[in-house]
Structure 1
């Protein structure tokens, strides 16, 4: 008698969760986005209070806050969905934006992404 496989081998290829529901790539992406937002907030703050150390401080604080809160948000978004759902959803939004050609030039939006929604029906003739 043949034995059945009790687990799904395709799960072995998934990247492991590192921190708060984020994989390594997602964690670095959240930190980078939070750092850019922190830099954008830190430069005017540093100019206003005339303390240049405020800019790198806000970069680090923004990155850490983004990782801390992005984990919870992304875990809720990805719950019960396919592994590549989040990345395809981002690609779809970038492809449908008014700057789609700019995003495609940097490889962020896929021009071959199918964006047409319809339903299939099978009928007898």
Structure 2
């Protein structure tokens, strides 16, 4: 039986585009984006939890601040990143991070991006 998606020899007529794409795990984020968000917002919560723990005298608030920061950061960042990534290619977010590092933090390594700003011309020089 041959359906309209395959040829007589059993091969497919189309090229599946979703095979190499990372799956969306939570809130529109892929696994890499989710873990990066959790660790970054957890670190911010940890740093903010230290003064609260010193002022209250309860050292468990440091860990509670990290956990709360991770949860709140994941909730907020998933909404923001989902809106930013809408109708854009899969690698858009990673290229934006790469461009930011190339422009503002060149000491982190060579990004391989061309960051020239200015007018481009298409004329011959003689």
TM-score category by the smaller chain? 0.7 to 0.9
Corresponding residue for residue 3 of structure 2: none
Mapped to 1, the partners of 2:19 and 2:77 lie a distance apart of 24
Q: Give the helix-richer structure, 1 or 2.
A: 1
1:63-74 alignment, distance < 5 Å: 63-74=70-81
TM-score (norm 2): 0.79
Corresponding residue for residue 66 of structure 2: 59
1:24 CA displacement: 1.0
1:70-109 alignment, distance < 5 Å: 70-97=77-104, 99-101=105-107, 103-104=108-109
Question: What is the RMSD of the two structures over their aligned residues, measured on CA atoms?
Answer: 2.3
Secondary structure at 2:80 match in 1: helix
1:82 CA displacement: 1.1
Number of residue pairs matched by the alignment: 113
Note closer, same or farther for the CA distance 1:120–1:81 as it changes in structure 2 (3 Å cut): farther
Mapped to 2, the partners of 1:119 and 1:70 lie a distance apart of 37
Mapped to 2, the partners of 1:23 and 1:54 lie a distance apart of 30
1:34 partnered with 2:70: no
Of structures 1 and 2, the larger Rg is shown by 2
Mapped to 1, the partners of 2:88 and 2:76 lie a distance apart of 20
TM-score (norm 1): 0.80
Corresponding residue for residue 28 of structure 2: 21
Runs of 4+ in 1 over 4 A off after TM superposition: 117-122
CA displacement, residues 5-64 of structure 1 (integer Å, 9 cap, x when unaligned): 2xx522211011111101111110100011110011011111111110000000000001
1:89 CA displacement: 0.4
Mapped to 2, the partners of 1:80 and 1:43 lie a distance apart of 40
